[in-house]
Amino acid sequence: MKLLLDTHTFLWFVAGDTQLSPTARRMIEDLGNDRYLSIASIWEMSIKHGIGKLPFAQPIEIFIPTQLRINRIDILPITQEHAFQAGQLPTHHRDPFDRMLIAQSLIEAIPLVSADTNFSAYTGLNQIW
């Protein structure tokens, strides 16, 4: 199974945070599943890190690639199709990063692993939590 990790899901997973549901943790830890982190999430973390809202113990350009490698998480690039879909989504969610994750999840038919309750408003979105 393919899984698309929301930004907070990725951060909670790599930190061992108990806010991550046992179901989500089990699915992410299952090496039989293909795990993806959107380039949108990396962009979001980079912006938050740059303005001081998301500190890391090491430089972000070392932390994220290291965590991706250690945890065997692949990057999901953003395509034109993803961008067009994100712009056409209903405005249940206004956060541009989350809108991109929703669009990617819908287009790629990859379940989105997230605790965000606003995602449930999107028809056809397969959310795991």
pLDDT digits (tens, 9 = 90+) for 83-128: 999 999 998 878 999 999 999 999 999 999 999 999 999 999 999 9
- State CA 58 to chain mean position distance: 21
pLDDT band with cut points at 50, 70 and 90 for residue 37: very high
Q: How far apart are CA 108 and CA 106, in angstroms?
A: 6
> What pLDDT is attached to residue 78?
98
Which three-class secondary structure state does DSSP give residue 5?
strand
Q: How far apart are CA 40 and CA 35, in angstroms?
A: 15
pLDDT 10s digits, 57-68:
999 999 999 999
In this structure, the number of other CB atoms found within 10 A of the CB of residue 126 comes to 14
pTM as predicted: 0.95
> What pLDDT is attached to residue 93?
77
Which three-class secondary structure state does DSSP give residue 36?
strand
> What pLDDT is attached to residue 92?
84
Q: Which two tokens stand for residue 51?
A: 């303005």
**Statement: residue 51 has pLDDT above 90:** yes
